[in-house]
Amino acid sequence: MTTPNMQSITVLGSTGSIGVSTLDVVARHPDRYRVFALTAHRQVETLLAQIRLHRPRVAVLGCAEDASRLQKLLRTEGLSCDVLSGPEALESVASASEVDTVMAAIVGAAGLKPALAAARAGKRVLLANKEALVMSGELFMEAVRQGGATLLPIDSEHNAIFQALPLNYAGDPSGAGVSRILLTASGGPFRTLERSALAHVTPEQACSHPNWVMGRKISVDSATMMNKGLEVIEAYWLFDAAPELIQVVVHPQSVIHSMVQYVDGSVIAQLGNPDMRTPIAHALAFPERVDSGVAPLDLFSIGKLEFEEPDFERFPCLGLAYRALRSGGTAPAVMNAANEEAVSAFLDRSIDFLRISGLIDAALEQFPATAVSSLDEVLAADASARAFVRKLIAA
């Protein structure tokens, strides 16, 4: 039984880095949070271990074969948990009446529909899935409004901006006295590498982030700075900030997670150790604060903080994201799909690192932006861009 003040939580993507960090925070506060559902794509053994510890009512896997395997393992151990599979099951556990809060942490376009389902059902949505806003920002924000959902950003940068904005911020930067949003970026593992040397970097090098522990896809996005480009688009939708008001600032230490500059000259920053449990705990407990398990920030050991302008020539993906945002309509969905396919090919060693941005550029040229009025149009643009990029890779 849950108490009146206890939140019932679905974690979409529980075996990924965000999902694991979420469950770590949840486990620290058994009096506040109860897990209703956990979902994973193929990580059966990891999901089984999470079920043992958190005892959800429902578990969801990507395919029926893996679900059947999990069911057998649960029976062997005498554990009770309903096991479902497929995209519709994800939407079901995201919108279930028993659920208060949904951590939307499925990476890529696959996380779009369940995140939308949570928003339409009026849930407290903790958004870690960038693609929900990148691919279909207008549709997603409309679903939040119509469903009466509460949207809380989990990306460390957007959570920092959220904390640095006025508590009653209502999507009007000038009305709130905001002159700029300063979105910090670590610069990734290749920040100081010459562009000519980038052609020879390996997936292992690209996935070796200097500050953060992340999944392989998002690590490559950080290395190309596409991750920051996606975050620029997110910030546009989350805070109603025009592209020219969103400035990327390279900050190698990753201690300042982002800043808000005000018209009176004030700059308010949110600082902390680079650990995703901080924004997760903030969003879970908002407007209260709870222990996240993160060590206190030791400013004396840091010593200094550095800031640089981003190099758009070395990292063209960042400029491509601004271009897609300004084009609007289907352009961000095309860009995102092309990037996912290109990153996958790089991780499979089918293309070199520098070709990632070239494939995205080619897709944006091939598919001029058109207006979006439905999710089907977004998904059609996504599918067309993927097919186009796969063809280029195979050529």
Mean pLDDT of the chain: 94
Binning pLDDT at 50, 70 and 90, where does residue 211 land? low
Binning pLDDT at 50, 70 and 90, where does residue 367 land? very high
pLDDT at 243: 96
Given a cut of 60, whether residue 307 has pLDDT beyond it is: yes
For 7-153, give the CATH class: alpha beta
Structure tokens at 78: 């005498």
CA dist 202 and 200 (Å) reads: 7
Q: What percent of the chain has pLDDT over 70?
A: 97
Binning pLDDT at 50, 70 and 90, where does residue 298 land? very high
Beta strands 256-262 and 178-185, pairing class: antiparallel
Q: Is 234 exposed, middle or buried (0-12, 13-18, 19+ CB in 10 A)?
A: buried
CA triplet 8, 132, 16: central angle to 5 degrees? Answer: 60
Q: Whole-prediction pTM value? A: 0.92
Domain residue spans of the chain: 7-153, 171-394
CA dist 212 and 273 (Å) reads: 10
CATH assignment of 171-394, among 1.10.3720.10, 3.90.660.10, 1.10.1740.10, 1.10.1040.10: 1.10.1740.10
pLDDT at 4: 52
Contact of 70 with 45, CB cutoff 8 Å:
no
Neighbours of 283 (CB within 10 A): 24
- Mean local confidence (pLDDT), 143-169: 96
Same fold: 7-153 with 171-394: no
- Mean local confidence (pLDDT), 34-43: 97
Given a cut of 80, whether residue 213 has pLDDT beyond it is: no
pLDDT at 2: 45
pLDDT at 35: 98
Contact of 393 with 380, CB cutoff 8 Å:
no
Contact of 302 with 209, CB cutoff 8 Å:
no
Q: What percent of the chain has pLDDT over 90?
A: 88
- Mean local confidence (pLDDT), 125-144: 93
pLDDT per residue as tens digits for the range 217-264: 888 999 999 999 999 999 999 999 999 999 999 999 999 999 999 999
pLDDT at 290: 97
Given a cut of 80, whether residue 210 has pLDDT beyond it is: no
pLDDT per residue as tens digits for the range 223-233: 999 999 999 99
Q: Is 312 exposed, middle or buried (0-12, 13-18, 19+ CB in 10 A)?
A: middle
Q: Which long-range contacts (CB under 8 A, 24 or more apart) does 69-75 make?
A: 69/44, 70/44, 73/44, 73/48, 74/48
Contact of 268 with 164, CB cutoff 8 Å:
yes
- Mean local confidence (pLDDT), 45-73: 97
